Chain A
Amino acid sequence: MNGTAVLHSIIDGVLTGSVYALMATGLTLIFGVMNIINVAQGIFVILGAYLSYALSVHLGIDLFVGLAITIPTLFVVGIVVERLFLTRIKGPERVVMSILVTYAVSLVIEGILNMVFSTNYVELHAWYVNRSVKVFGIYLPYIYLLGFAMAVVLLTALYVMLYRTRFGTSVRASLADQTSAALVGINVRRVSTICFGLGVAVTAAGGMIYGATNAFNASSSYDLISRLLVIIVLGGMGSLGGALVAGIMMVTIEDLVAVVWGPVWSNLSFFLILVIVLSLRPQGLFGKQSVRVA
């Protein structure tokens, strides 16, 4: 082990972690506003990756240009899923029911993806996927840098929307307290639907980067959703800043462990950190202290 390798893994971790942070932000936004845990987030990422794949292989559209098609497509998919299924969830066990519903949705999508694309692993290709640039003696793949830039742009856009627009104010009001938000005239139903759409739409971008950096098939979604769930629990469920910090932190630590102790331990370290953090801070790093829920 040497200093360069460690530095390299930290830089890699921050670059790829930002993409996970983007996908986790979508997940935590949905939880915060709607009290729904969308376990289909993993399969939506893969759906996004396959859409990019189809566009680039069959129509020759560049991966980043293709986002102009895949992001709106997944936004619409999200809205359709929310309207068709999630609005029907009733009863006191809303969170559990939402997990079951979104899991069922993800099974159906997994089956369809397997039928259309087969279960063979595929990878996304473009000129910037396999080339690297040398910075201070470290080789950085272009795709990592581009993915980082994209994640920063999209996260900034999301933050500007949430903190600088009227719609964003309604979203944050719904995050804080749905009943009060409804009382001051916010259409919580509409806010929820759009948030679900947005939360799913970011997976198109995340999926493209994921597909360019990993070989994937439909069952890769299980690996993804387990990481994303750990990230949002660690950051504090419903905390947008928490998802960002936890996403970058977790992936960086995972990369570091892979370099220092070997890749077998890196997956486990991810969960070990969760266990340690939760025993010290059960509400997560940035979570609100759990309040009594009637």
Chain B
Amino acid sequence: MLRVRNVWWIVALAAFVLFPLIETNPTWTTIGIFALIFMGCATSWNMFSGYSGYVNLGSAVSYGVGAYTITLLADHLNVPGNGDLFWLVPVGGLAAMIIAIPVGLIALRVRRHTFVVITIAIFFVFQLSAINFSFTGGTAGLQLPLIPWLETNYNKPFYYAALAIAVFAVLLSVAVRRSRFGLQLLAIRDDEDRAAGLGVKVFAVKLVGFTMSAFVVGMGGALYAIFIGQIYPQFVFDPIFDISIALMCIFGGLGTLTGPLLGALVLESTQQYLAIRFSNGSLYLIIFGSLFLVIVLFMPQGIVVFLGDWRSRRKARLAEGARVVLGEAS
């Protein structure tokens, strides 16, 4: 039986499927691609950090590893610049998972506060390595094979690939949330010591969650790389990516399913729009930073809770007003 909630999901999916057919302006479909990539990444990030409470501020490691893997593979395998490149996207995700294992082994040894700082530190190791080693092309970056598609149709395959990744991320996140494994992650968030005492293998659960969440982020990075056609260390290993993902999930509501989707859709679209509107990078930083502050300071529980609160407060006020009016009448 179809429940109302499921209907909304279908309507939303249909809207996303139809969007590039109705809106053909590349500026807008590009914003759509970025929004979808971030919706997938944020959902996947939330699947570990939102559920377990271990906030990973180094998710750009997975993103960058995905991007570099696909670029290097395309070069070594001599993949021509056509649709074949898309088949390498999951390989980028797998590479990100493999890298996430040693990173997780180190970073997950400590408790939450230090974990946050260590993920930032490890992120910088990867950024520096990409800049310093020669096989990554250093600061000059690397080129991918040029895809000779017409400008009017160039965005469509990328858009649907990004949509597929986002849908996959949502399904995975739902599956985890409904599984025993998901409950164990939530137990770790609520009380790690008690969870361990009750027989949850906390370290293994954290490591598996951490590694799984790297997969989709790595695929996002790989898709980004072939869409843009060239990668630079400071764009794929970008500290703003680390922070944006966390911000999107917090904005939408940490640990919820719709939150990261909503947060990524709103924030990434805004961010892309601002970047186009204010080509002046400094002004963009100031506006983005201010927006960021407003969100964190005034809606720390997420927009869904914030609006809910606002509505219930408004209702309470209206009820109060009604009582006053009735009181006067009687």
Which A positions have Cβ atoms within 8 angstroms of B? 35, 37, 39, 85, 88-91, 93, 95-97, 99-101, 103-108, 110-112, 114-115, 222, 226, 229-230, 232-233, 237, 264, 267-268, 271, 274-275, 278-279, 282-284, 290, 292-293
Closest 9 CB pairs of A and B: A111-B285, A107-B289, A111-B286, A108-B289, A114-B282, A226-B124, A104-B292, A271-B125, A104-B293
Pair A114/B285 contact, Cβ less than 8 Å: yes
The interface residues of chain A lying within 8 Å CB-to-CB of B250 are 100
Q: Does B288 contact A (CB under 8 A)?
A: yes
A-B pairs with CB below 8 Å: how many?
124
Interface string of B252-267 (1 = CB under 8 A from A): 0010000000000000
- Which one of B117, B281, B285 contacts A233 once the chains associate, using CB atoms below 8 Å? B117
Pair B297/A85 contact, Cβ less than 8 Å: yes
Q: Is the interface of B mostly helix, strand, loop or mixed?
A: helix
Pair B117/A268 contact, Cβ less than 8 Å: no
Pair A278/B109 contact, Cβ less than 8 Å: yes
Which B positions have Cβ atoms within 8 angstroms of A? 53, 55, 57, 106, 109-114, 116-118, 120-122, 124-125, 128-129, 132-133, 193, 239, 243, 246-247, 250, 254, 281-286, 288-290, 292-293, 296-297, 300-301
A104 to chain B, nearest CB (A): 4
New contact pairs (6) apart from A91-B301, A108-B293, CB-CB < 8 Å: A91-B300, A107-B289, A111-B284, A278-B106, A290-B114, A293-B111
Query: Which of A95, A104, A110, A290 has its CB near the most chain B CB atoms (within 10 A)?
Result: A104
**Contacts known (A226-B121, A282-B114); A96 close to B293, Cβ less than 8 A:** no
A178 to chain B, nearest CB (A): 15
A112–B293 Cα distance when bound, in Å, is 16
- Which one of B112, B120, B293 contacts A101 once the chains associate, using CB atoms below 8 Å? B293
Chain A residue nearest in CB terms to B110: A282
A182 to chain B, nearest CB (A): 21
A104–B250 Cα distance when bound, in Å, is 14
Pair B109/A233 contact, Cβ less than 8 Å: no
- Which one of B106, B116, B292 contacts A275 once the chains associate, using CB atoms below 8 Å? B106
**Contacts known (A226-B120, A237-B113, A271-B124); A100 close to B283, Cβ less than 8 A:** no
The interface residues of chain B lying within 8 Å CB-to-CB of A279 are 106, 109
B259 to chain A, nearest CB (A): 14
Chain A residue nearest in CB terms to B49: A96
Pair A100/B110 contact, Cβ less than 8 Å: no
Interface CB pairs A-B, < 8 A, 11: A96-B55, A100-B247, A101-B297, A105-B293, A108-B289, A111-B286, A112-B286, A114-B285, A233-B118, A237-B114, A282-B110
The interface residues of chain B lying within 8 Å CB-to-CB of A268 are 125, 128-129, 132
Chain A residue nearest in CB terms to B283: A111
- Which one of A95, A103, A107, A222 contacts B113 once the chains associate, using CB atoms below 8 Å? A95
The interface residues of chain A lying within 8 Å CB-to-CB of B285 are 107-108, 110-111, 114
Pair A101/B284 contact, Cβ less than 8 Å: no
The interface residues of chain A lying within 8 Å CB-to-CB of B301 are 91
Pair B282/A111 contact, Cβ less than 8 Å: yes
The interface residues of chain B lying within 8 Å CB-to-CB of A275 are 106
Pair A107/B121 contact, Cβ less than 8 Å: no
Pair A115/B288 contact, Cβ less than 8 Å: no
Chain A residue nearest in CB terms to B125: A271
A279 to chain B, nearest CB (A): 6
Chain B residue nearest in CB terms to A108: B289
The interface residues of chain B lying within 8 Å CB-to-CB of A292 are 193
- Which one of B193, B292, B297 contacts A107 once the chains associate, using CB atoms below 8 Å? B292
Pair A100/B243 contact, Cβ less than 8 Å: yes
**Contacts known (A99-B116, A226-B120, A268-B132); A108 close to B281, Cβ less than 8 A:** no
- Which one of B55, B114, B286 contacts A108 once the chains associate, using CB atoms below 8 Å? B286
A93–B122 Cα distance when bound, in Å, is 21
**Contacts known (A112-B282, A114-B281); A271 close to B111, Cβ less than 8 A:** no
Pair B300/A229 contact, Cβ less than 8 Å: no
A37–B289 Cα distance when bound, in Å, is 17
Pair B118/A278 contact, Cβ less than 8 Å: yes
The interface residues of chain A lying within 8 Å CB-to-CB of B288 are 107
**Contacts known (A100-B247, A111-B286, A268-B129); A290 close to B111, Cβ less than 8 A:** yes
Pair A100/B106 contact, Cβ less than 8 Å: no
A133–B290 Cα distance when bound, in Å, is 47
The interface residues of chain B lying within 8 Å CB-to-CB of A232 are 117
**Contacts known (A37-B117, A267-B132, A268-B129); A100 close to B112, Cβ less than 8 A:** no
A115–B278 Cα distance when bound, in Å, is 13
Pair A89/B111 contact, Cβ less than 8 Å: no
Chain A residue nearest in CB terms to B124: A226
Pair B129/A96 contact, Cβ less than 8 Å: no
Chain A residue nearest in CB terms to B243: A103
The interface residues of chain B lying within 8 Å CB-to-CB of A93 are 53, 55, 254, 300
Pair B109/A95 contact, Cβ less than 8 Å: no
A215 to chain B, nearest CB (A): 16
**Contacts known (A37-B116, A268-B125, A282-B110); A96 close to B246, Cβ less than 8 A:** yes
Chain A residue nearest in CB terms to B293: A104
The interface residues of chain A lying within 8 Å CB-to-CB of B239 are 222
A45 to chain B, nearest CB (A): 16
B185 to chain A, nearest CB (A): 16
The interface residues of chain A lying within 8 Å CB-to-CB of B293 are 85, 101, 104-105, 108
The interface residues of chain B lying within 8 Å CB-to-CB of A108 are 285-286, 289-290, 293
The interface residues of chain A lying within 8 Å CB-to-CB of B297 are 85, 88-89, 101
The interface residues of chain A lying within 8 Å CB-to-CB of B109 are 278-279, 282
The interface residues of chain B lying within 8 Å CB-to-CB of A100 are 243, 246-247, 250, 292, 296
